[in-house]
Amino acid sequence: MSASQDLQRIIYERLIALQAVHDLVGDRIYDNRPAEANFPCITFGPSDVVEDDDECITGRIETIQLDCWSRDNARIAPVKRICDVVKAALHLYHAEPGGSALVELRVTGMRYFLDADGLTAHGVVTVQAIMEE
């Protein structure tokens, strides 16, 4: 399993295990949101990797986007609650990633907006992981 897969697994397992997340989105946490999926939900978005090697250590900084979705009369507040719970679950969370060593996991930003359809509230949580490979 790659370091990126390890990271996604850690995030997924953390979110799916927490009651506070379940209370808001149930088990609707997707790698790729199915067309028939209900709202609210969380999906994995794009990610990028920057190499962060040091003396005798192969390292990386991976940034991953988590998309939070709500459709509640075009209100932004429900998606803000989801983003806040995701941040609380992941910011400074420590876990054993398997083949890689997770040095640090932190939430570096959040954004909220209405999608172009005028109905769907969209929240973006940016998570950064510093890892040793």
Model pLDDT, residue 98: 65
- The stretch 19-45 carries a mean pLDDT of 95
Sheet containing strand 121-132, edge to edge, reads 29-30, 41-51, 59-70, 121-132, 101-114
Range of the domain at 92: 3-132
DSSP string, 51-101: E--BTTB-EEEEEEEEEEEE-STT-SHHHHHHHHHHHHHHTT-----SSSE
Model pLDDT, residue 33: 86
pTM, 2 dp: 0.91
pLDDT at 99 over 70: no
What's the domain count of the chain? Answer: 1
Q: What percent of the chain has pLDDT over 90?
A: 71
**Domain CATH for 11:** 3.30.2000.30
pLDDT digits (tens, 9 = 90+) for 44-65: 999 999 987 677 777 889 999 9
